[in-house]
Amino acid sequence: RGLLAFLPTALTLRRRRYDVALVPHPSLRSALLAFLSGAPTRVGFDRNAGRWLYTDVVPYDRALHEVRRNLRLLEPFGRLPEGLRPELFPTSQDRERVEMLLGDVGDRFAAVAPGSVWPTKRWLPERFAQVCRWLAERHGLRCVVIGGADDSTLAGHVAGLSGGAAVNLAGRLTPLQSAEVVRRARVLVTNDTAPLHMASAVGTPVVAVFGPTVPEFGFGPYGVPNRVAQVELPCRPCAPHGGKRCPLGTFACMRELSAEHVYRLVVQLLEETEREPA
C-alpha cells in the first residue's frame, strides 16, 4: 500500500516485459500498474476509472458470474473458451496430510463449512449440526467441518452439537488441504464463502447457503451440480459482501432458513449426482 510499495511493484512488472496485461480489478491503481508495466496490450473493464489507460475496453456485465465476467477480458483475442472453471491442484503432501487427518472417517463423507469473515453470512451453527446428524443417522454419512484458524471455535461448536456426527478439522488445514477435503467429499454444505469456490475448483457438488448476499452478484456456485438455499425476503440483498450485523436486527434471512430445507437440498443433490449414500 502507498507509493513506496506501488513503485517497486511497477518496476518489477516493467522488468518482466509482459506482452499483455488483463485487469479484472476496477481500481485506478490497477489500471496504472498495467500501463506502467509497459505491456503493449492492456485489457480492462469499462467501469474502471483508469479505462483510458487500456488499449482495449470490455463491457462489465453485472448479470454474469464472476468467472464468465472475467473471461470476457479475452474477447479482444477472439472467441471465448467454453466449459472452463477455476481449478486447484493439491500436492501429494497435501493429499497425505488429509489422508492422515481423515483417519477412520473413510471416503464417504460430506464436507461442511460454517464460517465466514462476515458474521451475517453465517448460517446458525445448530442447524449445520442438525444437518450433520440427519446425514449420519439416515444415510450413514459423516461430516467433516473445515475452515481457517479463525473458524476453529465455531467449527468445534458445530461438531460438538452434532453428537459425534461431525469431525472438526478447521484450523488444521492449509487452503489446498481444505480443497483436498472438499474434493474427496460427496457434497459440500457451505455459507457464501471461500469453500464454495473451492467446490467449483475441484468438481464437488455444493449446497450454498445465502443470506444477506445473493448468487446474482456473480459469486454463486459455478460449473458443478449445485443447490442454493435461501429465503425470499424484501430486505435481501442488504450488502454486497455481508456485514457485521443485520441492518434490521432480525437476521431473518438466516433464522428463517430451516435445517430441514437445507437437508432436503443435500439429499436431492446427492440423488442427482448419483452419489447418494446407501
Q: Give yes or no: residues 144 and 266 share one domain.
A: yes
Helix (H) or strand (E) holding 102: helix 92-102
The verdict on 61 and 111 lying in the same domain is no
Rounded to an integer, what distance in angstroms lies between the CA atom of residue 98 and that of residue 80? 36
Q: How do residues 180-207 score in pLDDT, each as one tens digit?
A: 999 999 999 999 999 999 999 999 999 9
* Residue 177 falls inside a structural domain: yes
Residue 231 sits in a domain of what CATH number?
3.40.50.2000
Residue 277 lies in a domain: no
Same domain, 64 and 96: no
Q: Is the pLDDT of residue 171 over 70?
A: yes
Q: Which strand ranges, in their side-by-side order, compose the sheet holding 206-209? A: 166-168, 142-145, 109-113, 187-191, 206-209, 226-229
**Grid coordinates standing for 218?**
456473480
The last residue of one of the domains, among 54, 77, 100, is: 77
Domain of residue 25: give its range. Answer: 3-77
HEC states along 107-146?
CCEEEEECCCCCHHHCCCHHHHHHHHHHHHHHHCCEEEEC
Task: State the total domains in the chain.
Answer: 2
Q: Assess whether 72 and 167 both reside in one domain.
A: no
264 and 142 co-located in one domain: yes
* Residues 15-70: tens digit of each pLDDT: 999 999 999 998 999 999 999 999 999 999 999 889 999 999 999 998 999 999 99
Q: What is the pLDDT of residue 213?
A: 96
Kindly list the distances between the CA atom of residue 105 and the CA atoms of 62, 99, 100, 146, in Å, as whole numbers in the listed order.
41, 10, 10, 14
219 DSSP assignment: T
